[in-house]
Amino acid sequence: MAHHKSALKRIKTNARDNERNRSYKATLRTFVKKVRALTNKEEGEQLYRQTASLLDKLAQKKVIHKNKAANQKAKLASVIAKLQ
């Protein structure tokens, strides 16, 4: 256990940030699953825009790496392109 006041504060803030990031990642996984499950192209494009926006926000907040966001957006775009 930490003894310094600053170290104790870091432990609390790390725990808080970790919980928030886990929530963001769970939301992202849900969105990705929804996009991959769709069969309608119009709905897919709309949901893809929301998912891409979420990916960009999480990359900007450094919850996920920017290259991971770009890779996921590209993969989802190819899934949407294959829909009819």
Specify whether the CB–CB gap between 63 and 25 falls below 8 A.
Answer: yes
What average pLDDT does this structure show over 56-81?
97
For the chain, what percent of residues have pLDDT higher than 90? 96
Q: Are 44 and 57 in contact (CB under 8 A)?
A: no
Q: What is the CATH number of the domain that holds 56?
A: 1.20.58.110
pLDDT of 71 above 90 = yes
Confidence grade of residue 70 (pLDDT, cut at 50, 70, 90): very high
Residues 5-43 as b/e (b if ≥16 CB within 10 A, e otherwise) read eeeeeeeeeeeeeeeeeeebeeebeebbeebeebeeeee
- Residue 54's domain comprises 5-82
Number of separate domains in the chain: 1
Question: What is the torsion angle, in degrees rounded to the nearest 10, for the CA atoms of residue 42, residue 57, residue 68 and residue 29?
Answer: -60
Q: What is the pTM of this model?
A: 0.86
What's the rounded mean pLDDT across residues 78-84?
92
Indicate the pLDDT class of residue 1, thresholds 50, 70 and 90. confident
Cβ–Cβ under 8 Å, residues 35 and 14: no
Task: Read off the tokens for 70.
Answer: 């770009």
Under the banding of pLDDT at 50, 70 and 90, the label for residue 84 is confident
